[in-house]
Structure 1
């Protein structure tokens, strides 16, 4: 069971509470830490800031179930725009089957333009794949409307996982272009960061990609010196 998390809890607070409740860390990405429930059936994705996955998780909750889409059970808010996504526990997928699903969706991945080819017509025309394709296209359009630094699709075999029973699931299919956020902070490009508040950017520098040390300290100093708009300064 997920422990109670206060709305002002940080991602570090959430991880500590989960670990105290018997959850264990099973993975770390650039944007988030992932912990498995004590019984191994659920996963908790903890992040201080990741607007793209939040859009995806909210879309999963809002839409009907799809057998090729990860099941999201809840999104628990943390401080500022941090959150915990509670979802089904997944595992590495069979590579050939994962490549077939990616090819069948037919959405070019901005993170890897060399998308797998050779989709089976049967899978590409499957009603659940057609539904998933439409929902991903809607999600991509929504992200592009919201964020100047929207990265686009990240639909690749590595983001196809599977359940313990071997059922394929798409997860983490979209992204905000983190390297450009980093470069904009470093180079003082406040104009490119207008979609984010100072609190957002401070929390961005707390994602796992930024390890403690001189380089991250320098980025924090650069952020302190960044001249942001009134809206960015006051939005949390």
Structure 2
């Protein structure tokens, strides 16, 4: 069972509470830590700040179930814009099958063209794949409206996982350009960061990719002195 987490709990405190309750860390990405439940049936994705995954998680919660989409059970708010996503436990997928699902979606990422795989043509017209494609496209449009540093699609085999019994699940298909956020902070370009509050940027600097040390401390001092541009265009 997920321990009770108050809304002012930090991501670090949430991880500690999960650890004490018997959850164990099974993965760390750029933006979040992932812990598995004691019975290995659920996972908790903990982040102090990740607006793209929050959009995706909310879409999963409000949309109809899709067998190719990760099952998300809850989003638990933490301090400011941090949160814990409670989802089904997933594992690395069969590479060939993951590539097939990605090819069937036909969605180009920011760096790669949409894959062309003739063997995936039949799957491309499957009603659940059509639904998944539409939902990703809606997320892409929403993200482009909300964030000037929106990254777009991140639909790739590495973001296709599978359940314990081998069913494919897409997760984390969209992103905000975190490297460009880092570079804008480093260079003092507050004009590029107006979609985020100062608190957002402070929390951004605590995601896993930023290790404690002098470089991160310097970035925090830069954030404290930034003159930010216009307020976020969409605040909800």
Q: Residue 191 of structure 2: SS of its match in structure 1?
A: helix
Aligned to 2:157: 157
Q: Residue 164 of structure 1: SS of its match in structure 2?
A: coil
Distance across 2 between alignment mates of 1:2 and 1:69: 22
Structure 1 residue runs of 4 or more that deviate by more than 6 Å after TM superposition: none
Aligned to 1:144: 144
After superposition, what is the alpha-carbon deviation per residue over 1:124-155, rounded to whole angstroms, capped at 9, x for unaligned? 11010001000110011011111110000000
Within-5 A mapping of 1:17-166: 17-110=17-110, 112-119=111-118, 120-166=120-166
Please state how far the C-alpha of 1:114 moved relative to its aligned partner. 4.6
Mapped contact 2:190–2:227 kept (Cα < 8 A): yes
Mapped contact 1:23–1:35 kept (Cα < 8 A): yes
Q: Residue 31 of structure 2: SS of its match in structure 1?
A: coil
After superposition, what is the alpha-carbon deviation per residue over 1:26-55, rounded to whole angstroms, capped at 9, x for unaligned? 000000000000000000000000000000
Measured on the aligned residues, the alpha-carbon RMSD in Å equals 1.4
Please state how far the C-alpha of 1:224 moved relative to its aligned partner. 1.5
* TM-score, normalised by the number of residues in structure 1: 0.95
After superposition, what is the alpha-carbon deviation per residue over 1:40-74, rounded to whole angstroms, capped at 9, x for unaligned? 00000000000000000000001000000000000
Aligned to 2:208: 208
Aligned to 1:188: 188
Distance across 2 between alignment mates of 1:57 and 1:129: 18
* TM-score, normalised by the number of residues in structure 2: 0.95
Distance across 2 between alignment mates of 1:168 and 1:115: 19
Unaligned 5+ segments in structure 2 are: none
Q: Residue 228 of structure 1: SS of its match in structure 2?
A: coil
Mapped contact 1:93–1:160 kept (Cα < 8 A): yes
Q: Residue 184 of structure 1: SS of its match in structure 2?
A: helix
Distance across 2 between alignment mates of 1:174 and 1:191: 23
Mapped contact 1:32–1:46 kept (Cα < 8 A): yes
Distance across 2 between alignment mates of 1:108 and 1:230: 30
Please state how far the C-alpha of 1:116 moved relative to its aligned partner. 3.4
Equivalent pairs, count: 232
Distance across 2 between alignment mates of 1:118 and 1:74: 35
Please state how far the C-alpha of 1:117 moved relative to its aligned partner. 2.4
Mapped contact 1:23–1:36 kept (Cα < 8 A): yes
Aligned to 2:226: 226
Mapped contact 1:48–1:83 kept (Cα < 8 A): yes
Unaligned 5+ segments in structure 1 are: none
